[in-house]
Each structure stands twice: as C-alpha cells, then as structure tokens.
A and B are shown apart, each in its own frame.
Chain A
Amino acid sequence: MTKNIISLCRIQLKQEMKNRNGIYGIILYVLSSVFVVYMAVKEIHDSSVWVGLFWVIQLFSCLNAASKSFQYSKGRDLYFYQLSGPRPFILSKMIFNLILMNLVFLLSQLIFSLMMGNPFEDTSSFIILGMLGTSALSSILTMMSAITFKADNNYTLMAILSLPIMIPLLIVLVQSSNAIIDGSNISSISQNLYILGGLNLMIISLAYTLFPYLCTD
C-alpha cells in the first residue's frame, strides 16, 4: 500500500509539473491577496492585527489551493483510482496537498514579512507552529474538497462546508502565534501544538475510514 501511495504522489507531482497553471495560480493568489491587504493597511502597528490578517489570508489561500486538487479527477485520475483503491488515493492527495500548502505557508510568510514587517523575534518557532497548523488545515480542506467534488464541485459550497470547521483551528493558531510574539518559546505552547497534531491525525484517520463510502458509485 505504501508503494501505491508513493507512486500516486509521484504521478500527481508529474501532472502538476506538466501543467503548471495550477501552481502559478496559487502563487498568484497569495501574492495578490497579500498585496491587497498591504494596500488596505499599509503599516501594521499592532502585532495581533498582523497575526489575524496573516492567518485569514492563509486560510483563503489554502481553500483555493485545495479546491483545485480534485479538478482533474475525471478520466485519467479515475483510472488510477480504480487501480489502487480509494484509500491510497485519498492518502496520496492528502500528502500532496500537505506539501503544497506548507510551501504556500512559507511563501506567504515571506511575502507578508517583506511587505508588513516581521513581528517575530523567534521566527523559527512560528514556522514550526505554522507548518503544523497548515498541515491540519490541508487535511480538513482535502477532505472537504473530496466531498464537494462528489457534489457539484462548486467553490462556494466548499467554502461554506470548510469555514465553520476551520474556525476553531484558527482560534488555536492565532492564540499560539500571539503567544510566540509575546515571547514564549516552543515548549510553553506545547499544549496547543499537541492539539494541532492530534487534530491532524484525527482528520486523516476519519478520511481514511470514510472516503471509501464516499466513492462507491
């Protein structure tokens, strides 16, 4: 099964590389939205505003990135899915989205800091927190994308389905980011990190259990 997953991931990577439109689209979305925010606020004096705006942009960028993940799932993808079964399929999509969204996170962190200053003295712990948070985010969004793909593939529907579930995640992330700005190190927010990691595992196991039911056509 691991071999299946790895080969499916590799195939997806090749697909994205061949038609780089999707990736360019995501990068452009991040750049444009950060620029819009910059134009709206110019300078951020309060660090909690920085954190809030950053995570909202991150949320919507990941939403966008995830909504594209099942777009090509007609034809050739269906063939691969039938070869390998539903579970490796969803796991490979999740792993791929995880890597993609972590890259999106790093990119947006870079651009945000460039345009609006970096309120963190300890950027590395923010990056660790952010990668954990984005991983949980990507798992939720991949699952929601799978559900909406089966039902009409409407971007609005995906936003409606995933936003309420992402709100508590957002609360945890904003709280931890604010704590990092105030100067605490990684170990003092460890409780929140465990929550994020636990959430991630729970979503992946839920998806692993439920995806086959979604797919029996």
Chain B
Amino acid sequence: MIKNWWKFLGVMLILYVIYKGFTIDVPRLDVLNETIRNLFFHVPMWFSMMLLLFLSVIYSVLFLANNKLKNDNWANALSSGGILFGSLGLVTGMIWGNFTWGTPWPNDPKIHGAAITILIYLAYKVLRNSVKDENKQARIAAVYNMFAFVMLVVFLVIYPRTQSSLHPGAEGNPGFNQYDLDSNLRMVFYPAVIGWFLIGLWVSQLTKRLNQKEQELLEIE
C-alpha cells in the first residue's frame, strides 16, 4: 500500500482538478466561453503523453545498456500508455475544436504533429508484433523507439514554433501567452498535469505487470 502512494496522489490531484476546474473563476473570452476549462483536461493529455513516451525512451536506452528484459517491458507498457493518452488528447481536441474553431480537423501544425506521433507509435507496436523472439524484439523496438522519439522532438516541438497556427503559443512564443495564464488557472493547471501523468503511469504499470505475467505463463507452458 505504501509503495503505491503516488497512485493515491494522482487520484487526489485529479479530484481536486475536477472540482476546482468547474468552480474556479476563469477569464472571460469571447468564443471560448467556458470551454477554457478544457485547459485542465485536454492539454494535460499531451503533456502526459510526451512524459510517458520520454520515459519509454529512457527505458529503451537502459535496455540497450544492460539487456534486462524488465526495462523493455517498461518501455512497451509506457508506449501503450502514451498511445492511449495521445489518442484521448486527439479525440478531445477534435471535440473541443469542433465547437470553437468550427471544424474538428483544421489545417494546423500542432494537430499534424499529434497525428504523426500516434502513427509512429502505432508503427512501433506493429514492429514489435512482427518479431517472435523476445530479445530480438526488444532490441529492434528499442532502436526504433529512440529514433522515432528524436525525430518526434524535432518535428513536434521545434517545427511548429516556426509556423503560425490556430493553437496558442505559435509564431515563436512557446506556452500559453496568448491566453495569459493567470495565477488562478496556473494553480489548477500544474496539478492537472501531474495528476493525469500519474494516472497514465498507473495505467502503464498495470499494462506492464499484465504483459510480464503473460510472458511468465507462456514460458511455464
């Protein structure tokens, strides 16, 4: 129980965010109206996804360094979590965008980047499944993971900043300067990011334990 302190922390933070998120005073903006509250639900999806995928790459590197299958299991599970949160972010973004920008899929670099991330990691899954031998699978997947993540960082973080886009924080200034995150929103936003990330970590941990048990059972047979 004590080992899982962070799971409790995550749930508490999310409850706090849900309560505060709906009751806090938000700046009044013309088209967004109340949907600015999506800041606490849609945006942390992306942050969690990037953090989970980053952890996945770290575990891939660890695996290449010392060849323990445990590291590879973590890398696999974290990438599952990343794909889950990425697709959730994409779907919620489409819902949000449909009612504010008018269309669920505008011609916007950040959306393109998000779609590319998900495609890359789905390809990672297919790659994993196409190799039967465990060690080989882990090694090839680790190499592709590193490659894909570096490309991702270049094209999703650096490239959209050089373009103009419908999202805030384009044209050179990162972050949310457009909506001028006041301290009120910040107080709910940062816990939201941490809380959703911890939930993602919990989901990945469950996936990893399941995969590991599956492997052990198959080995016993």
Q: Which residues of A contact B (CB under 8 A)?
A: 143, 147-148, 150-152, 154, 157, 160-161, 163-165, 167-168, 171-172, 191, 195, 199, 202, 206, 210, 213-214, 216
Give the chain B neighbours of A171 by CB distance below 8 A. 112, 159
Give the chain B neighbours of A202 by CB distance below 8 A. 150, 154
The answer to whether B130 and A147 touch across the interface, beta carbons within 8 angstroms, is no
The answer to whether B155 and A147 touch across the interface, beta carbons within 8 angstroms, is no
**Among B120, B146, B162, contact of A165 (Cβ-Cβ < 8 Å):** B120
Q: What is the chain B residue whose CB lies nearest that of A209? A: B146
The answer to whether A147 and B148 touch across the interface, beta carbons within 8 angstroms, is no
The answer to whether B146 and A147 touch across the interface, beta carbons within 8 angstroms, is no
Q: What is the chain A residue whose CB lies nearest that of B144? A: A147
8 closest A-B pairs (Cβ-Cβ)?
A164-B119, A168-B155, A164-B120, A151-B131, A160-B123, A152-B130, A210-B143, A161-B123
The answer to whether B139 and A214 touch across the interface, beta carbons within 8 angstroms, is yes
The answer to whether B139 and A157 touch across the interface, beta carbons within 8 angstroms, is no
Give the chain B neighbours of A195 by CB distance below 8 A. 159
Q: What is the chain B residue whose CB lies nearest that of A168? A: B155
Interface range for B: 20 to 34
CA distance A29 to B148 in the complex (A): 28
With A157-B130, A164-B123, A168-B154 given, name 11 new contacts (CB 8 A).
Answer: A147-B127, A147-B140, A148-B127, A151-B131, A151-B137, A157-B126, A160-B123, A164-B120, A165-B120, A167-B116, A210-B147
The answer to whether B140 and A150 touch across the interface, beta carbons within 8 angstroms, is yes
Give the chain B neighbours of A191 by CB distance below 8 A. 162
Show 17 A/B contacts (Cβ-Cβ < 8 Å), sorted by A.
A147-B140, A148-B127, A150-B136, A151-B136, A151-B137, A157-B130, A161-B144, A163-B119, A167-B112, A168-B112, A168-B151, A191-B162, A206-B146, A206-B147, A214-B139, A214-B140, A214-B143
Per-residue CB contact flags for chain B residues 101-127 toward chain A (1 = under 8 Å, else 0) read 000000000001100100110010011
**Among A143, A148, A150, A160, contact of B147 (Cβ-Cβ < 8 Å):** A143
B188 within 8 A of A: no
CA distance A160 to B198 in the complex (A): 31
Give the chain A neighbours of B140 by CB distance below 8 A. 147, 150-151, 214
Q: What is the distance, in angstroms, from A197's C-beta to the closest C-beta of chain B?
A: 13
The answer to whether A213 and B142 touch across the interface, beta carbons within 8 angstroms, is yes
Known: A152-B130, A152-B131, A157-B126. A165 touches B142 (CB 8 A): no
Give the chain B neighbours of A168 by CB distance below 8 A. 112-113, 116, 151, 154-155, 159
B48-88, CB < 8 A from A: 64
Give the chain B neighbours of A206 by CB distance below 8 A. 146-147, 150
Q: What is the chain A residue whose CB lies nearest that of B131? A: A151
Give the chain B neighbours of A151 by CB distance below 8 A. 127, 130-131, 136-137, 140
The answer to whether B159 and A160 touch across the interface, beta carbons within 8 angstroms, is no
CA distance A206 to B155 in the complex (A): 16
Q: What is the chain B residue whose CB lies nearest that of A157? A: B130
CA distance A216 to B136 in the complex (A): 9
Q: What is the distance, in angstroms, from A50's C-beta to the closest C-beta of chain B?
A: 20
Q: What is the chain A residue whose CB lies nearest that of B158? A: A195
CA distance A168 to B154 in the complex (A): 10
Q: What is the distance, in angstroms, from B161's C-beta to the closest C-beta of chain A?
A: 12
Give the chain A neighbours of B130 by CB distance below 8 A. 151-152, 154, 157
Give the chain B neighbours of A167 by CB distance below 8 A. 112, 116, 119
CA distance A160 to B116 in the complex (A): 12
CA distance A172 to B131 in the complex (A): 33
Give the chain A neighbours of B162 by CB distance below 8 A. 191
Give the chain A neighbours of B127 by CB distance below 8 A. 147-148, 151, 157, 160-161
Per-residue CB contact flags for chain B residues 154-179 toward chain A (1 = under 8 Å, else 0) read 11000100100000000000000000
Q: What is the distance, in angstroms, from A138's C-beta to the closest C-beta of chain B?
A: 15
